[in-house]
Amino acid sequence: MLARLMESGNKRIADLAVNSNFRSLRFRHDRIFFQKASLQEKTILGLIGKESGKETMQMEVYDCKQKTDLTGANLIWDTKTNQKITSVAGKNVIKGGKASWDFYWQLFGRNSIDNKGLLIKQYVHYDKGMDNAYWDGRRMVYGDGDGTVFTSFTSDIDVIGHELTHGVTENEANLDYENHAGAMNESFSDIFGIMIKQKCDNQDVKKSNWLIGEKVMIGPKYALRSLKAPGTAYINHPDLGDDPQPATMDGYQNLPNTQSGDWGGVHINSGIPNFAFYVAAFNMGGYAWEKAGRIWYAVLTDTSLIQNGKFTDMKNLTIVHAEKLFGINSPESKAVKQGWTEAKV
């Protein structure tokens, strides 16, 4: 019937018939795709977690009282008792921890850091004037900042999301913390950190400034990192100098794989995959977590992403997953390719 209408001499009827046929085809293909989709694909598409809805976040917050002994820190808040607290840093990490857990749960059906409901442990007021935050393999730890260059490292939700994502990466691809793989590890943390902030603030790719840690670093011109323009988060800073991140592969820095060499520049060369993601997400438009975020999560949880992978492995896998999720030659797969081309990978 539709075939006959498509050949109708009446252009309007023919147009309607072609459109109906196209929609019908797409629905049939969608149905077949969802029937055949693997558990991982269903999870990525958000078809798993939302249906169950039973899991809840478990979190504890500890006050280190400006000491470095984590075992002596005081428990000041937990999800069971939900007690009132006065610490601003404590309140920040509760908000950021919840936002991060919600992000992974609502979008990917992921239940916490290990996808098995791991208790999220966060430690605030670590050391005196400590200008840093870190993930030690079991917990997130935040300093108060030196008060001159940095304020509390709990001030930005993207920093909290960044640290939590280190835990996710450790439980998934478990990328080595050196050279290319280390920079990819850092990049995943920045990418998911920024998307967690964007989702909290309901920011699309155009509205977001793509800056990590803009409150943590004191001064309106400064942030810790920029995904949109790596190397510009701080320029000619009186204490730090210039942001060392390259945006493209020709600026890749071969640094020693030592503590002093930032393990081969993991926080420096991460600018390259960060920029590829930014370009891809921006070209897709809308909210970054809806398309680009799903592609990058599929890569992070893909067992074929090897621990000592290179940027080219990440590039290839993001293209594979973009095509798998959105189709070969889809605007999304083209946007991903464009991202890596712009980053010169």
Partner 1 sequence: MDRGESLTEAMKIKLIRTGGFIPITKEAETDVNLSDSQVKSLLEIIQPDRIPSPIKDGNYYLLAIGSSSTLVDLEKVPDEYKALFSKLKSDLKFIKRR
Q: State the catalytic residues.
A: 163, 267
**Residue 192: closest CA among 111, 125, 288, 280:** 288
Q: 205: closest CA among 135, 292, 105?
A: 292
Does 71 contact partner 1 by CB under 8 A? no
Selected from 211, 268, 276, 292, the binder of partner 1 by CB under 8 A is 268
Footprint on residues 276-335 left by partner 1 (CB under 8 A): none
The secondary structure element, H or E, covering residue 331 is: helix 331-342
Q: Give the interface segment with partner 1, choosing from 86-94, 101-109, 233-241, 287-295 (CB under 8 A).
A: 233-241
Task: List Cβ neighbours of 137 (8 Å cut-off, separation of 6 or more).
Answer: 170
**Planar angle of CA 247, 249, 252, nearest 5 degrees:** 85
Taking CB under 8 A as the rule, does residue 67 contact partner 1? no
Kindly list the distances between the CA atom of residue 114 and the CA atoms of 9, 34, 174, 242, in Å, as whole numbers in the listed order.
Answer: 60, 26, 12, 36
Using CB under 8 A, which residues numbered 183 to 202 contact partner 1? Answer: 185, 189
Q: Choose between 213 and 293: whose C-beta lies nearer to partner 1.
A: 213
Applying the rule CB under 8 A, the residues between 121 and 140 that interact with partner 1 are: 128-129, 131-137
Residue 159 near partner 1 by CB under 8 A: yes
3-state helix, strand, coil split of the chain in percent (to 5) is 45, 10, 45
How are beta strands 211-212 and 133-135 bridged, if at all? unpaired
> Any contact of residue 182 with partner 1 (CB under 8 A)?
yes
**Selected binder of partner 1 within 177, 310, 331, 334 (CB under 8 A):** 177
Q: Which residues bind partner 1 (CB under 8 A)?
A: 68-69, 128-129, 131-137, 149, 153, 159, 162-163, 166, 170, 177-178, 182, 185, 189, 213, 224-225, 237, 239-242, 244, 259-260, 262-263, 265, 267-268
